[in-house]
A and B are shown apart, each in its own frame.
Chain A
Amino acid sequence: MAGELPVNSNSDVVLVRQHVRTAAIEMGLSLVDQTKVVTAASELARNALVYAGGGQVRIEIVQKGVRRGLRLTFSDDGPGIPDIQQALTDGWTTGGGLGLGLSGSRRLVDEFDLRSAPGEGTLITVTKWGR
């Protein structure tokens, strides 16, 4: 299963959450892991919306050996992140939030890859592996 969803409004964020949850249930993630990956998706989708004005997310189920994982790819054409280390620091925010969205999402998933440069948008790939 693979699909690309737009993130252009708050209701799109809700839709992303629902699709991620469906995919997580489909691949048999535990309830805790489902909630974690859904929450991470919610954070990252909202980041794309708030900081880049919108973007898209790709939801796919990947296989590594016998393990299956849920991979989410968030991409946007926003202003990009000038200092990635700083952005990944707990409590750092430029948007008036708690400053835990990006750093917290990294802890909620198993693999976290962030590529961004000023003016070149942001690409975040996260993977949650089944147990």
Chain B
Amino acid sequence: MGVILSIPADAGRRRIEELLQENEDRVFKRWLEIAGSASGGQVDRSSLASQLRELYQALRQSFGDSGDLSDLRGLLAELSRTRARQGFTSTETAIVVFGLKEALYESVEDDASPEALRGFIWFSRVIDDLGLFTVESYATAREKVILDQAEQLLELSTPVVKLWDGIVAVPLVGTLDSARTQVVMEKLLQILVDTGSEHAVIDITGVPAVDTQVAQHLLKTVVAARLMGAECVISGIRPQIAHTIVTLGIEFGDIVTKATLADALAHTLRASGVEFTKSRGSRIAVRTVED
């Protein structure tokens, strides 16, 4: 980057610095307009103005300091980060930087001196460079946001709930990949130890498709729970899932499966020796399950 700044267009460069100083109000006002319209109504004018003011000062400062752009880059990285988090697009973010070119161009045109025009080419390159840097930091920030969210989702999406004394349930929602199954398995096994439960219900009502990988993960989880002395019931097998599992040829062996979570609860309650008596007016009925 230092190479660009050392182009022997010193006269032009000086003229640009002067223009940035002399016409500060005008250039800044125009820049704010361009940046403001590109950002839509998502950012309030005063905070944008203070952001741009800071950038403008840093830019002039760095031109003065023999072209050290590191402060300016720091500010731009910060701007990209906040904008990525606020949901701006990369274009909207980059236009903030590129807008300065257009803003200054009007002053250059009025000046019409050869130095100013030559300087503007140099200035253009610097801004292009900074613009690209902004887009890059924006992309990095976005990736970080996505990674963070994926991690949070992994934690959030695997609750283990207690249904009854000695019975826990894991409602699974969404895609089951290796990473998630790992989390589910770890959590389930830990809860089995912590609560001393002997029964676990894995509910897959919210899993859109059960392919061989998901089935394998489920089977492994059940076997692991068994090794710890707990029996697992898989519930929430919808008709289309049952159809698909049969066609694929997956065998669940002696693992108990149920259509609904209610059936699974009834099964585990009976298995753990809880008895229901039907009293008049009661709507609770425990369906008999043939095993």
Contacts and interface: CB of A to CB of B under 8 A. Distances in A.
B240 A31 contact: yes
Contacts of B186: none
B212 A101 contact: yes
A17 interface: yes
A80 interface: no
A97 B241 contact: no
Interface in A38-84: 38-39, 42-43, 46
Interface string B139-178: 0000000000000000000000000000000000001011
Most chain A beta carbons < 10 A, residue from B211, B241, B243: B211
Most chain A beta carbons < 10 A, residue from B177, B208, B209: B209
B249 A10 contact: no
A39 B249 contact: no
Contacts of B262: none
Most chain B beta carbons < 10 A, residue from A32, A35, A103, A108: A35
Contacts of A101: 211-212
Nearest to A17: B209
A18 to B, nearest CB: 9
B211 A35 contact: no
A108 B210 CA distance: 13
Interface string B219-263: 000000000000000000001110110011110000000000000
What band does the interface of chain B fall in when counting residues whose beta carbon is under 8 Å from A? 20 to 34
Main SS of the interface on chain B? helix
A10 B177 contact: yes
Given A14-B175, A34-B240, A108-B244, A46 B249 contact: no
B272 interface: no
B240 A108 contact: no
Contact of B247 (A42, A97, A108): A108
A107 interface: yes
Interface in B188-205: none
Interface residues of A, number: 24
A4 interface: no
A38 B240 CA distance: 11
A34 B212 CA distance: 17
A10 B211 CA distance: 14
A98 B210 CA distance: 13
Given A10-B177, A39-B209, A43-B211, A103 B239 contact: no
A90 interface: yes
Given A90-B249, A100-B250, A35 B212 contact: no
B249 A107 contact: yes
B211 A42 contact: yes
B215 interface: yes
A2 B19 CA distance: 54
Given A35-B209, A38-B208, A43-B211, A98 B216 contact: yes
B212 A98 contact: yes
Given A31-B240, A35-B243, 5 more contacts: A36-B244, A42-B211, A98-B212, A98-B216, A98-B250
Interface of B: 175, 177-178, 208-213, 215-216, 239-241, 243-244, 247-250
Interface of A: 10, 14, 17, 21, 31-32, 34-36, 38-39, 42-43, 46, 90, 97-98, 100-101, 103-105, 107-108
27 contacts: A10-B177, A14-B175, A14-B177, A21-B208, A31-B239, A31-B240, A32-B240, A32-B243, A32-B244, A34-B240, A35-B243, A36-B243, A36-B247, A38-B208, A39-B210, A39-B211, A43-B248, A97-B216, A98-B212, A98-B215, A98-B216, A100-B212, A101-B212, A104-B250, A105-B248, A107-B248, A107-B249
Q: Which are the 7 A-B pairs with shortest beta-carbon distances?
A: A104-B248, A35-B240, A42-B211, A32-B240, A98-B212, A107-B247, A100-B212
